């Protein structure tokens, strides 16, 4: 059967930025979504999808670049799925993110909004992440200028990030601009050492191979944690590699390994074995210290996390009466308790709830470590834990902080919140679309007092947003 000829649209002018990091154009009155473009680009586009309401396509030729276009700083731009907005000036990235937040709150939530506060941009637009995970693969992504038939077994191997849409393809990363050194140095050393010693890289289809993944965690205190995940047991090779890492990188303060024989890469249910160094690294935020273990959750942009939590605290101070009793504060989806502990001085009691038991143990440990005695933490599904009995036991909340995952809150949680009817809610979101949906559920009893977008991830379309609510 003959393949249908692909339709190419010529001299398409890009108008604006759209959702998911795509750019937007209009052709014959129909919306066209195109990746890796910025407003003002004139391009030839090959259609990849055509629907009644929109089209999608890929650039096959840059006819005329936008006068706004910057030269991407990363050699992997265009292939790697991250940092899609490198060609867009950072000031414009912030403008589009601000507009995205407002559009979604109005269009999806149908909310009455005050004037939004200007988005808080990141001082660091490169090397801002404190955690990255890399995958070893024996079938890496092959670039267009390479000849697959001429590659040796070793040349097929790669260490880097998954390619979007291909679960078994990994882009071999030489230099990543997301995490500060020694992240790149460690990754490149391990790759070359593995090549020199003939170690196998993981086969993602067959679920076999010696080297599987590696996780690098850095902290604002200068500490470094490395977790090497092996796909099979080989004590001789494992000891050889770990000793080489330890000898060449004394900067690594915590060196762990995991032997993961499962089909999936998650290590949350696996034993992390300390090979050398300290059991944890630490993050500092004002007078608080947070213990970070190999499985601990912590915001991946430490500097912006502090600005985000400061917004939450400012909103809390704004609504807490200065001359009355200190309030009871609930921190729902508390993670390792960072927001709860950050607000503890303002409260008579802070109560944190989180689905992941290990995170709650971290929260309890962080409370003890920082000498915070007015906190209680519970593990369980939010919609099951947060009920009438729970509220009776812990006290009716005066202020509730929500910081859910991208999927937002369960409708049952919204229902219980409206029954508990706290005076104020602060909703922290990494997905303004689901935030808008949830706020529309609360709109019958709560009005929006303030909105503050925060950019945690420069050069991506992702944006955090904090909304302050007050009961009507």
Residue ending a domain, among 238, 264, 292, is 292
Mean pLDDT in residue range 455-459: 97
Q: Please, what is the Cα angle at 354 between 350 and 358, to 5 degrees?
A: 110
Mean pLDDT in residue range 32-37: 93
Are 285 and 220 within one domain? Answer: yes
Residue 436's H or E segment, with its range, is helix 432-442
Predicted confidence (pLDDT) at residue 2 exceeds the cutoff of 60:
no
Residues 62 and 45: their CA atoms lie apart, in Å, by: 9
Evaluate whether residue 223 is within a structural domain. Answer: yes
Mean pLDDT in residue range 435-445: 96
Mean pLDDT in residue range 335-344: 95
What the block records as the tokens of 100 is: 């995205």
Q: What does the pLDDT read at residue 97?
A: 96
Residues 243 and 275: their CA atoms lie apart, in Å, by: 9
What the block records as the tokens of 379 is: 């593990």
Note down the domain range covering 206.
131-292
Q: What does the pLDDT read at residue 1?
A: 35
Most confident of 52-56, 122-126, 149-153: 122-126
Predicted confidence (pLDDT) at residue 131 exceeds the cutoff of 80:
yes
Predicted confidence (pLDDT) at residue 58 exceeds the cutoff of 70:
yes
Give yes or no: 430 in active site: yes
* DSSP one-letter string for 364-413: HHHHHHTT--SEEEEES-HHHHSSHHHHHHH---SEEEE---TT---HHH
Predicted confidence (pLDDT) at residue 3 exceeds the cutoff of 70:
no
Which residue of the set 37, 80, 83, 430 is catalytic? 430
Q: What does the pLDDT read at residue 316?
A: 98
Predicted confidence (pLDDT) at residue 443 exceeds the cutoff of 80:
yes
Query: Do the strands 211-218 and 166-172 form a parallel or antiparallel pair, or are they unpaired?
Result: unpaired
Q: What is the pLDDT of residues 386-400, one digit of tens each?
A: 888 999 999 999 999
CATH label of the domain that carries residue 269 = 2.40.50.1070
DSSP 109: T
Q: What is the pLDDT of residues 196-242, one digit of tens each?
A: 999 999 999 999 999 999 999 999 999 999 999 999 999 999 999 99
Q: What does the pLDDT read at residue 4?
A: 55
Distances (CA, A) of 19 to 24, 64, 435: 9, 23, 15
Helix runs in 149-249, H state only: 183-197, 235-248
Q: What does the pLDDT read at residue 5?
A: 60
pLDDT band at residue 166 using 50, 70 and 90 as cut-offs:
confident
Count Cβ atoms below 10 Å from residue 248 Cβ, excluding itself.
Answer: 15
Are 372 and 460 within one domain? Answer: yes
Weakest mean pLDDT among 113-117, 180-184, 238-242, 289-293: 289-293
Are 5 and 55 within one domain? Answer: yes
Predicted confidence (pLDDT) at residue 18 exceeds the cutoff of 60:
yes
Domain count, the chain: 3
Evaluate whether residue 365 is within a structural domain. Answer: yes
Are 373 and 334 within one domain? Answer: yes
């Amino acid at each position: 059967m003959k393949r249908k000829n692909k339709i190419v649209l010529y001299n398409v002018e890009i108008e604006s930025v759209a959702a998911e990091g795509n750019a937007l154009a209009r052709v014959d009155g129909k919306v066209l979504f195109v990746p890796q473009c910025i407003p003002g680009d004139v391009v030839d586009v090959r259609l990849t999808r055509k629907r009644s309401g929109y089209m999608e396509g890929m650039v096959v030729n840059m006819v005329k670049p936008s006068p706004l276009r910057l030269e991407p700083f990363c050699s992997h731009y265009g292939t790697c799925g991250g940092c899609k907005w490198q060609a867009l000036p950072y000031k414009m990235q912030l403008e589009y993110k601000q507009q995205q937040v407002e559009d979604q709150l109005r269009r999806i939530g149908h909310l009455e909004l005050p004037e939004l506060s200007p988005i808080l941009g990141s001082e660091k637009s490169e090397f801002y992440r404190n955690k990255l995970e890399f995958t070893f693969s024996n079938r890496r992504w092959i670039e267009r200028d390479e000849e697959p038939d001429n590659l040796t077994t070793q040349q097929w191997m790669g260490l880097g990030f998954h390619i979007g849409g291909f679960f078994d393809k990994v882009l071999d990363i030489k230099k990543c601009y997301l995490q500060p050194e020694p992240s790149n140095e460690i990754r490149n050393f391990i790759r070359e050492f593995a090549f020199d010693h003939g170690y196998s890289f993981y086969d993602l289809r067959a679920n076999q191979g010696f080297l599987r993944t590696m996780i690098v965690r850095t902290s604002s205190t200068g500490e470094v944690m490395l977790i090497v995940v092996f796909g099979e047991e080989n004590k001789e090779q494992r000891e050889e590699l770990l000793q080489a890492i330890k000898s060449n990188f004394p900067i690594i303060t915590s060196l762990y390994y995991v032997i993961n024989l499962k089909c999936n890469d998650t290590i949350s249910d696996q034993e992390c074995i300390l090979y050398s160094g300290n059991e944890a690294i630490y993050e500092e935020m004002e007078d608080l210290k947070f213990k970070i273990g190999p499985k601990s959750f912590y915001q991946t942009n430490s500097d912006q996390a502090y600005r985000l939590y400061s917004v939450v605290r400012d909103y809390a101070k704004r609504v807490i009466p200065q001359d009355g009793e200190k309030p009871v504060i609930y921190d729902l989806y508390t993670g390792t308790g960072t927001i709860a502990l950050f607000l503890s001085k303002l409260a008579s009691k802070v109560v944190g709830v989180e689905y992941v038991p290990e995170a709650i143990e971290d929260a309890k440990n962080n409370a003890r470590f920082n000498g915070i005695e007015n906190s209680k933490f519970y593990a369980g599904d939010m919609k099951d834990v947060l009920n009438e009995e729970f509220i009776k036991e812990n006290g009716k909340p005066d202020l509730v902080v929500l910081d859910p995952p991208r999927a937002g809150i369960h409708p049952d949680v919204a229902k219980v919140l409206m029954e508990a009817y706290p005076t104020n809610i602060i909703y922290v979101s990494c997905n303004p679309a689901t935030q808008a949906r949830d706020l529309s559920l609360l709109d019958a009893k709560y009005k929006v007092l303030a909105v503050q977008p925060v950019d945690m991830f420069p050069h991506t379309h992702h944006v955090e947003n904090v909304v302050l609510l007050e009961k009507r």
